[in-house]
Amino acid sequence: MIRPIPTLSVLAGVLAAGLMGLPAGAQTPAVYPDGRGGEVHFPLGDISFADEVVSFTPGDPASGPDESIPEEVLGPPDYVDTVDDNYLTLGCGGVLELRFTDNALVDVDGPDLFIFEIGPAVEATELAISGDGEFWVELGRISGAVAAVDLAGHVDVADSFSLVRLTDLRETCHGQWPGADIDAVGAIGAGRRVVLDSSVLFDVDHSDLRPEAEAVLAELAADIARYGNARLLVEGHTDDTGSDAYNQQLSVDRASSVGEFLIQHAGLPAMAVEIVGYGESRPTVPNDSDENRTRNRRVEVVIVAY
């Protein structure tokens, strides 16, 4: 299902019950071998790469058990040669879905996403990205020497995505390693994702910042100011308690409160900060317990330095 490109989207990194900074070294720009004699530069270094396997459906035929472990795709590329088994073979028609958690995929100048496919041939795959796992933007076919993907023309410059889906196109269904062989998936166009717990920021059913929230946001604002030039998207989310319309408005109001604070204290022009509310439409976990509903009540900030 292809989502119409929204007028506002995401830029965001992780904070749960307050503010937890990322280690400085984790955001150091780094260069990685592309597996074909070249190199790829990632501005955020090791945090640029996929963090979590959402799902994996092996193709038929599949590869052996050592090459069918989807977690081998996570983190930076580490393939050396075919005697290693630190990569994933999709199998003929296999489907892999990955999530970025401490960064967000965004559109910047030049390539934005790099698929580290290894082996003597690059088997064709279909690539799609999503912000919520329901609406997908189809980016088309990756094959041959094509491994770097530019989001321009597919998404709005303010959009941000957390999910990547690779589907093998069943063009190589024979041999020991049927289907595409994936070592890593990385976001060249990336923003640091920050997640703020709404219970720290707001009283129940309110959008005015609590006094104790200002200390948390002041620390975040100081961190953002150190980037120099940056753009932000501030995104509000709720649980499923209450009507859709009420939750939508509450999410916008809460994102606006956070955004206004950051504009004032991080030294950013208002035009560099975009506000969006998603209401209850993008839960991180099912709304089936009080604990999970607390996790879903959040404000996310994506920081893209330039």
* Residue 97 tokens, joined: 């879905």
Chain position carrying tokens 């950051």: 262
Please report, for the chain, the start and end positions of each structural domain, with discontinuous segments joined by +.
28-189, 192-305
Q: Which CATH superfamily is domain 192-305 in?
A: OmpA-like domain (3.30.1330.60)
For residue 192, the one-letter residue type is R
Note the pLDDT of residue 1.
Answer: 28
Query: From CA 12, how far away is CA 280, in angstroms rounded?
Result: 18
Per residue in 102-135, pLDDT tens?
Answer: 899 999 888 999 999 887 667 889 999 999 899 9
Q: For residue 61, is the peptide bond before it cis, meaning its omega torsion is within 30 degrees of 0?
A: yes
Pairing of strands 230-237, 273-277: parallel
Nearest-CA neighbor of 198 among 124, 295, 89? 295
Note the pLDDT of residue 172.
Answer: 78
Per residue in 138-194, pLDDT tens?
Answer: 999 887 656 899 999 999 877 889 999 999 999 878 777 888 999 999 999 988 989
State if pTM tops 0.95.
no
Maximum distance among all alpha carbons in the chain?
A: 63
Per residue in 174-190, pLDDT tens?
Answer: 777 888 999 999 999 98
Query: From CA 74, how far away is CA 54, in angstroms rounded?
Result: 11
pLDDT at 60 over 60: yes
Confidence of residue 245 (pLDDT cuts 50, 70, 90): very high
Per residue in 29-57, pLDDT tens?
Answer: 899 988 777 889 998 999 999 999 999 99
Strands annotated E in the chain: 30-33, 39-42, 52-57, 88-89, 95-99, 103-106, 113-117, 125-130, 136-142, 148-149, 160-161, 163-168, 181-187, 190-197, 230-237, 273-277, 298-305
Note the pLDDT of residue 150.
Answer: 93
pLDDT at 237 over 90: yes
Per residue in 197-233, pLDDT tens?
Answer: 999 999 999 999 999 999 999 999 999 998 888 889 8
pLDDT at 18 over 50: no
The CB density around residue 269, as the number of other CB atoms within 10 Å, is 8
pLDDT at 5 over 70: no
Nearest-CA neighbor of 279 among 304, 305, 245, 256? 245
HSE toward the beta carbon, residue 66, CA cutoff 13 A:
6
* Residue 228 tokens, joined: 């120099």
Note the pLDDT of residue 35.
Answer: 75
Confirm if 201 and 237 have CB atoms less than 8 A apart: no
Query: From CA 90, how far away is CA 113, in angstroms rounded?
Result: 19
Note the pLDDT of residue 3.
Answer: 30
CA-based torsion, 192, 197, 202, 206: positive or negative: positive
* Residue 56 tokens, joined: 């994996």
- The residue with greater pLDDT, 159 or 251, is 251
* CATH number of this structure's domain 28-189: 2.60.120.260
- What is the per-residue DSSP string for 223-240? HHHTTSSEEEEEEEE--S
How many helices (H) and strands (E) in the chain?
4, 17
Query: From CA 198, how far away is CA 201, in angstroms rounded?
Result: 5
